[in-house]
Amino acid sequence: MASSQPPRAPVAPPQPANADNTNLAHLNPLPQSVFTLPQTAQLEALYTIIRDKETSRGDFLFYSDRIIRLLVEEGLNHLPVVSRTIETPTGAKYEGVGFLGKICGVSILRAGEAMEAGLREVCRSVRIGKILIQRDEETAQPKLFYSKFPPDIASRYVLLLDPMLATGGSAIKAVEVIKENGVPEERIIFINLISAPEGLKTFTSRYPAVKVITGWIDQGLNEKAYIIPGLGDFGERRYCT
Amino acid sequence: MAGTVIDHGIRLEREGGTPALSISAKKNSVLTSHGRPPWYGEAGQRICDAFVISVAGSIPTVIILSQDSFYKYHTEEELALAHANLLDFDHPDALDMPMFAACLADLKACKQSNIPIYSFSEHQRLEETKYLYGATVIIAEGIMALVDPALRALYDLKVFVQCDSDLMLARRIKRDVKERGRSVDGILDQYLRYVKPSYDNFVRPTAAYADLIVPGSNNDIAIELLCTHVREKLQERASRFRQKIAIPHLYLPSSSGASTPDSTIEELGLHVLPQTNQIQGIFTILRDKDTNRQDFIFFTDRLATLLVEHALQFLPYAPKNVVTPVQAEYQGQVQDAKNVCGVIIMRSGGALERGFRRVINDVPIGSLLVQSDFTSGDPLLLQVMLPKYVRLRHLAEETWVFLLDAQIGTAAAAFMAIRVLLDHGVKEEHIIFIAFLVARTGGISVLKNAFPKVQIVCGAVDESMREGWMDGYKGEGNPDGRGRAVWLMQPGMGQIGAYLDIYFTSPNFPILTDVQVIATTFEMDMGFRTVYILF
């Protein structure tokens, strides 16, 4: 009887992140369409490195890539699968699953491009579209300057890439453009490293069916609409300009 | 067919009476003829010390420890005397006996030892040391080997080689001129002034301590006796335990004493990756026998990356405050392990290397080559290449080691690898084992019993192990072409385990018998994609 056995050494729980820094401390409850990575000490240590203004560019690249890979992996988990039975080399039958549905990435220039490498490490030869959105000086509204998508984007699942979700302005504009190209909201997955609660609320209330995978939800925005504590300008730190 | 001692060349003999294999051994070296069998029991404890004899042997994994390495460090004045051939090297005081004894004691206790290196041309102990580990038999060699009582206490067998003094002088002149760059005059002067009196005063009397006195020439029978004795002693210590751990419930009582068939995942304390859609999909591809090689490599890399990320949560973390570029304070955390390194269990553990490097920047990686014995199926330790963090004992105590292997089936290789790390002084709770697959009813429960503090992270757990039969082939060590029993995981992912097995035991590949061949395999392995070359 398995139940009569004395308990073995219990599985050590993963070390948690600082309670003050967790997502729920900044946004509670999370909107239903928002998914985050497990808030472990390990993930927090990665974020501590990329937040630190003293971190070298090499380390910034290495550790932000690690987070991006984890985010893309999490994003892919929201794609559908079908059951599939295969035969193993030892001759056994195995009831597994097969991937279903084609995907493509869409990066919001310029910082979103930095996430493409991480996406490609997880999905070989994935198609990637691009969107350039900038603030219109006259209206102060985000304006579409350029977009280029795979021709069959309407039949694909779209992974929208932008490292920072601050006010949500450009992400909302990007989803609008992608929807105009025939992709329904349900098939869009927005992936970012850090988000502000304000931007998350605005974005999810506008597009409740778009899934948002965010690495960490921060305290909020300052008067210049920078995320606090954030990590500064992602593109600037990544491309060193 | 006994081995014969000729100068320092030692003939190794394989069990079963196959032709002897000749290897010319240098001093302070490790000789292996066929790898090192287990030196521990099912509970993971060390069950035998290394066997220490003081002159010659002919059995697998022999370490030769030479007295010459333990000459003391010389001051400037002594150095000047030495270069003028005026320093007495043939007095027991010239040797660092406590250090000799300490190194020997470490090796005897199956620990690693970093022994000094002495240069005869510079008459000085050098800065660097030589790493020795993994002896079944240790041969301590040197004219003063029987002088020190502390050393004598460590020997299991003491042999005195008696030789004609003319012959000894002739050999000495030959050696010192050729190998040590001395002049004949200097040699003779040194001989009459120091060597001869020293022999009469210190060396010859120690013959009284010897268990066996062997003549220096025409000694075939004496050596045969010696070899038989050592072989008998080793046989007594041999441990055949793979069978026991492969299907543990048939052999080992459960912790409650009841005859439980096997353990559940929870009881085993395994850390299994969350079975998300992607993980299930990746495993389906890896298990499929029709998956092509490119896909197999891509998805093993992806899975390995996720496994290593998952495993990193078991390292220690400490608070750290930083300031972000927008001048905000952040109370974060930092990884707090002093030294981190990886050790790959060759061959199939190499499949995790790329994922490991993707996640841990600039990480030192070592490897252990463990292969099954052709006849018994027992694991044999063939090659040990460990990072500095493990080799040096004072660093090993603060090092966290990730052990990488494709799967834990019988757990024999995992068991051996963990034992190697513990021997080096790595703490059990600092070992994190990463594997793609673990067989629930295989050796894992014995492994967990023996080493409860080792964290085991895996991608999936397979239900069972099935006994299979691998075809043998005729060749060295297996003259009848006997097949051998292997354990297959069900449903398994074959390729990593079995494909490599087939590769390494196929007639096209040389059997790993001597050091040379192992060295070549490793050169291939260093080329990053090794395991893939092997498919």
**Model confidence over B240-262: pLDDT tens digits?**
555 555 544 444 444 444 444 45
- Greater confidence (B62 vs B16) lies with B62
Q: Do A51 and B322 touch (CB under 8 A)?
A: yes
Out of B118-132, B243-257, B268-282, B399-413, least confident range = B243-257
Q: How far apart are CA B200 and CA B456, in angstroms?
A: 60
Q: How far apart are CA B316 and CA A45, in angstroms?
A: 11
**What is the rounded average pLDDT of the residues B460-469?**
68
Q: For the packed helices A57-76 and B277-287, what is the interaxial angle rounded to 10 degrees?
A: 90
In a mutational test of the A interface, the residue from B324, B363, B432, B451 whose CB has the highest number of chain A CBs within 10 Å is B324
**Residue B448: its pLDDT value, please?**
87
From residue B274, alpha-carbon distances to A193, B146, B271, B461 in Å are 21, 61, 9, 12
**Residue B160: its pLDDT value, please?**
83
Query: A135 vs chain B: nearest CA distance in angstroms?
Result: 21
What does residue B37 show for φ and ψ, rounded to 5 degrees?
-75, 170
Tokens of A60: 């910034």
**Model confidence over B69-83: pLDDT tens digits?**
888 888 888 888 877
Mark which residues 122-181 of B lie under 8 Å from A by CB. none
In a mutational test of the A interface, the residue from B266, B280, B302, B451 whose CB has the highest number of chain A CBs within 10 Å is B280
**Model confidence over A98-129: pLDDT tens digits?**
988 889 999 998 788 888 988 998 888 899 99
Please give the sequence-ordered ranges of beta strands (E in DSSP) within B124-183, or none if there are none: 124-132, 137-141, 159-162
Is B271:B457 a contact under the CB 8 Å cutoff? Answer: yes
**Model confidence over B392-420: pLDDT tens digits?**
988 999 999 999 998 888 788 898 899 99
A179: exposed, middle or buried (C-beta count within 10 Å: 0-12, 13-18, 19+)? Answer: middle
Q: How many Cβ atoms from other residues are within 10 Å of residue A240's Cβ?
A: 9
Is B338:B396 a contact under the CB 8 Å cutoff? Answer: no
Q: How many Cβ atoms from other residues are within 10 Å of residue B163's Cβ?
A: 13
Amino acid identity of residue A198, one-letter, is: E
Q: Do B284 and A45 touch (CB under 8 A)?
A: no
Q: How many residues does chain A have?
A: 241
Pairing of strands B5-6, A227-228: unpaired
Please give the sequence-ordered ranges of beta strands (E in DSSP) within B308-424, or none if there are none: 317-323, 329-335, 339-346, 365-372, 379-385, 399-404, 407-408
**Residue B47: its pLDDT value, please?**
59
- For chain B, what percent of residues have pLDDT higher than 70? 68
Q: How far apart are CA A77 and CA A159, in angstroms?
A: 12
**What is the rounded average pLDDT of the residues B295-301?**
86
A179-185, long-range: CB within 8 Å, 24+ apart, which pairs? A181/A149, A181/A153, A181/A154, A182/A153, A182/A154, A183/A153, A183/A154, A183/A156, A183/A158, A184/A209, A185/A209, A185/A210
DSSP state of B356: H
Query: B306 vs chain A: nearest CA distance in angstroms?
Result: 8
Q: How many Cβ atoms from other residues are within 10 Å of residue B120's Cβ?
A: 15
Which CATH number is associated with domain B242-249+269-534? 3.40.50.2020
CA neighbor of B278 nearest in space, from B250, B253, B306: B306
- Greater confidence (B517 vs B373) lies with B373
| pLDDT interval class at B221 (50, 70, 90) | confident
Q: Do A48 and B326 touch (CB under 8 A)?
A: no
CA neighbor of B172 nearest in space, from B7, B9, B10, B54: B7
CA neighbor of A145 nearest in space, from A160, A159, A130: A130
Out of B41-50, B427-436, B444-453, least confident range = B41-50
Q: Torsion over CA of A94, B472, B351 and B488, rounded to 10 degrees? A: 30
**Model confidence over B377-388: pLDDT tens digits?**
677 787 888 899
Q: Do B277 and A44 touch (CB under 8 A)?
A: no
Asked if B278 is an interface residue toward chain A (Cβ–Cβ < 8 A), one would say yes
Tokens of A92: 């056994």
Comparing CB atoms, the residue among B255, B323, B453 nearest residue A53 is B323
The residue to which tokens 């009569």 are assigned:
A4
Decide if pLDDT at A146 tops 80: yes
Cα-Cα end-to-end distance for chain B = 39
Query: B520 vs chain A: nearest CA distance in angstroms?
Result: 29
Domains and CATH numbers, chain A: 36-239 (3.40.50.2020)
Kindly state which CATH superfamily the domain B5-237 is placed in.
P-loop containing nucleotide triphosphate hydrolases (3.40.50.300)
Query: B48 vs chain A: nearest CA distance in angstroms?
Result: 28
**What is the rounded average pLDDT of the residues B156-162?**
83
Tokens of A153: 């984007």
Q: For the packed helices A57-76 and A41-51, what is the interaxial angle rounded to 10 degrees?
A: 140
Q: How far apart are CA B77 and CA B82, in angstroms?
A: 9
Taking contacts as CB-CB distances below 8 angstroms, the residues of chain B near A12 are 314, 455
Is A237:A60 a contact under the CB 8 Å cutoff? Answer: yes
**Model confidence over B174-196: pLDDT tens digits?**
888 888 788 888 888 888 887 78
**Residue B473: its pLDDT value, please?**
43
Tokens of B330: 């952040």
Instruction: Tell me if B5-237 shares its fold with B242-249+269-534.
Output: yes
Distance between alpha carbon B488 and the CA centroid of its chain, in Å? Answer: 26
Taking contacts as CB-CB distances below 8 angstroms, the residues of chain B near A10 are 269
Is B351:B496 a contact under the CB 8 Å cutoff? Answer: yes
Decide if pLDDT at B84 tops 70: yes
Degrees, nearest 5: CA angle B418-B317-B366: 35
User: What region, left, alpha or beta, does residue B122 occupy, with left being phi > 0 and alpha being psi -120 to 50 degrees?
Assistant: alpha
In three state form, how does the secondary structure of A46-101 look?
HHHHHHCCCCCHHHHHHHHHHHHHHHHHHHHCCCCEEEEEEECCCCCEEEEEEECC
- Could you state, in order of their start, the residue ranges of all structural domains in chain B? 5-237, 242-249+269-534
The H or E element containing residue A172 is helix A169-180
B277: exposed, middle or buried (C-beta count within 10 Å: 0-12, 13-18, 19+)? Answer: middle
Q: How far apart are CA A215 and CA A191, in angstroms?
A: 8
Average confidence score pLDDT of chain A? 87
The residue to which tokens 């509970």 are assigned:
B43
